[in-house]
């Protein structure tokens, strides 16, 4: 590259400003609303013989000195050193990103025991939150779903049926992305008196990441006159008559009401990579309807209308297979001899499994044990477990690999969802339920 010594020249006639635009921002997601940013480098040039020619490649780590002229179209490589005072706009954009990351971190810290993940910058920085995780550094207790195998299960559960069952749960698990915060969120959570998640930013645009699971899918219609109720069909004079409904269960603090549901996207089969575009088999369910929530239990059922009958049939078959396989594996394992709120030995603690999207990244499996439960007026109100979870795990299905049905305890394929980290039992996680014993 041609170089020259910097000559001081204060003449306004010879001073010229050259502008170079540097594209940054990593991968983007249309669901999370992330767009590329342009960093503009404005440089005062007083030395014509120091010109960098159009299309010239500036190498990584190269210093651009004040007064150096950068022509339009010039490539600026990552890691290039821009001198202090040279690029005000770049530093302002960098500060905006840092402010957004700080806001998301503040939301995580102030959300109480709940475990949603938050972002003001789309998906571009979720992998950084994963790498910087405080609760589970290194995520050593999580198993990527594409690497899960029979050896990951404890003794007594190591057989193909248990592996297949967990993989089916994984296939039905979705990442939930919500791009706004309802102004109807309450100030205080009804079950613990703590500030309700999202109240501080209600009515604003912020991205919430959680987890959910498909609990129902079918293509049958109650009446031959039924028509699709997706957003496009509701505004169409000829709504689609061949459609299906996909029901997803998640946590109320992730998707609170119908306004948030309209701005919700569920991603199926996000099984590897830190970003959606790193996994080629992802299926997007954009826009949800008909929210049925229970704030005290912290469960929320949302419905997606689709014209993709092949997908709906595939999910319906998965659910039927999982139900059948569940009956098989629970007959292999002796029924829990006697339920106790606090079992006395670890071998009496049934195995518990959670499939979730930690930090909004690809789904992972965590295994643990049911530790104890709380009852109130002969009602089970919550139970506790050791399976690892992180921000982004909120709304994940919690299922126990043991048959409790003879004691009228919820079946494994039930509506219990992960809520967060236990305050009363530090180191354990919890979910709420309604079942009476």
Q: CATH number for the domain including 294?
A: 2.40.10.10
The answer to the question of residue 43 being in a domain is: yes
Domain termination residue (choose one: 59, 86, 113): 86
Query: Which residues in 14-102 belong to E strands, given as ranges?
Result: 16-24, 37-45, 57-58, 63-64, 75-76, 81-82
- What integer pLDDT is reported at residue 344 of this predicted model? 54
**Does 176 lie in the same domain as 50?**
no
- What integer pLDDT is reported at residue 351 of this predicted model? 85
**Does 182 lie in the same domain as 296?**
yes
**Does 73 lie in the same domain as 162?**
no
- What integer pLDDT is reported at residue 415 of this predicted model? 57
Domain termination residue (choose one: 313, 328, 343): 328
0.85 exceeded by pTM = no
Q: How many domains does the chain fold into?
A: 2
Domain termination residue (choose one: 32, 56, 86): 86
Which residues are paired to 353 by β-bridges? 367, 399
In the 3-class helix/strand/coil scheme, how is 414-429 assigned residue by residue? Answer: CCCEEEEECCCCCCCE
The answer to the question of residue 323 being in a domain is: yes
Torsion angle of the four alpha carbons 10, 11, 16, 22, in this order, in degrees rounded to the nearest 10? 0
Instruction: Give the range of the structural domain holding residue 47, as residue numbers without chain letter.
Output: 16-86
Q: What span, in angstroms and rounded, lies between the C-alpha atoms of 57 and 73?
A: 10
Q: What span, in angstroms and rounded, lies between the C-alpha atoms of 133 and 150?
A: 27
DSSP 254: T
The answer to the question of residue 289 being in a domain is: yes
The answer to the question of residue 111 being in a domain is: no
The answer to the question of residue 125 being in a domain is: no
The helix (H) or strand (E) run that includes residue 284 is strand 283-286
- What integer pLDDT is reported at residue 377 of this predicted model? 62
Q: Between helices 309-332 and 160-172, what is the axis angle to 10°?
A: 150
The answer to the question of residue 297 being in a domain is: yes
**Does 324 lie in the same domain as 186?**
yes
Block means of pLDDT (10 residues each) for the chain, length 437 residues?
A: 44 41 40 40 38 50 52 53 59 76 89 94 88 94 96 90 95 97 93 87 94 93 84 92 95 96 97 86 92 90 95 96 86 54 59 95 94 71 90 94 52 70 90 61
The answer to the question of residue 301 being in a domain is: yes
Q: What span, in angstroms and rounded, lies between the C-alpha atoms of 62 and 9?
A: 24
- What integer pLDDT is reported at residue 2 of this predicted model? 45
- What integer pLDDT is reported at residue 60 of this predicted model? 46
């Amino acid at each position: 590259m041609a170089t020259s010594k910097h000559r001081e020249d204060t003449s306004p006639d010879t001073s010229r400003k050259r502008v170079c635009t540097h594209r940054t921002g990593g991968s983007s997601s249309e669901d999370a609303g992330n767009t590329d940013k342009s960093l503009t480098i404005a440089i005062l040039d007083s030395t014509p013989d120091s010109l960098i020619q159009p299309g010239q490649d500036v190498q990584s780590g190269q210093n651009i000195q004040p007064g150096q002229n950068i022509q339009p179209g010039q490539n600026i490589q990552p890691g290039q050193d821009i001198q202090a005072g040279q690029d005000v706009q770049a530093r302002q954009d960098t500060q905006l990103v840092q402010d957004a990351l700080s806001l998301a971190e503040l939301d995580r810290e102030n959300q109480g025991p709940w475990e949603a993940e938050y972002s003001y910058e789309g998906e571009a920085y979720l992998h950084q939150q994963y790498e910087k995780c405080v609760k589970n550094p290194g995520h050593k207790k999580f198993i990527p779903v594409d690497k899960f195998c029979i050896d990951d299960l404890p003794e007594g559960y190591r057989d193909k049926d248990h592996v297949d069952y967990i993989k089916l749960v994984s296939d039905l698990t979705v990442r939930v992305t919500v791009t706004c915060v309802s102004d109807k969120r309450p100030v205080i959570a009804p079950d613990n008196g703590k500030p309700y998640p999202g109240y501080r930013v209600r009515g604003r645009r912020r991205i919430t990441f959680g987890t959910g699971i498909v609990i129902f899918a079918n293509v049958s219609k109650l009446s031959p006159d039924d028509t699709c109720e997706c957003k496009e069909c509701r505004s169409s004079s000829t709504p689609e008559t061949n459609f299906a409904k996909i029901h997803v269960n998640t946590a109320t603090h992730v998707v609170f009401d119908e306004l948030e549901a309209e701005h919700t996207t569920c991603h199926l089969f996000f099984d590897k990579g830190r970003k959606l575009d790193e996994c080629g088999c992802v299926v997007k369910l954009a826009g949800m309807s008909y929210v049925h929530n229970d704030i005290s239990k912290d469960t929320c059922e949302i419905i997606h209308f689709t014209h993709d009958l092949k997908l709906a049939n595939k999910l319906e078959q998965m659910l039927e297979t999982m139900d059948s396989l569940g009956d098989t594996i629970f007959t292999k394992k002796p029924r829990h001899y006697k339920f106790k709120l606090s079992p006395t030995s670890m071998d009496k603690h049934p195995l518990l499994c959670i499939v979730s999207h930690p930090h909004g990244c690809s789904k992972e499996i965590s295994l643990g044990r049911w530790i104890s439960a709380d009852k109130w007026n002969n009602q089970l109100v919550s139970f506790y477990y050791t399976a690892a979870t992180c921000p982004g795990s909120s709304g994940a299905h919690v299922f126990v690999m043991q048959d409790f049905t003879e004691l009228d305890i919820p079946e494994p394929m039930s509506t219990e969802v992960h809520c967060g980290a236990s305050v009363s039992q530090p180191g354990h996680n919890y979910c709420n339920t309604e079942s009476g014993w």
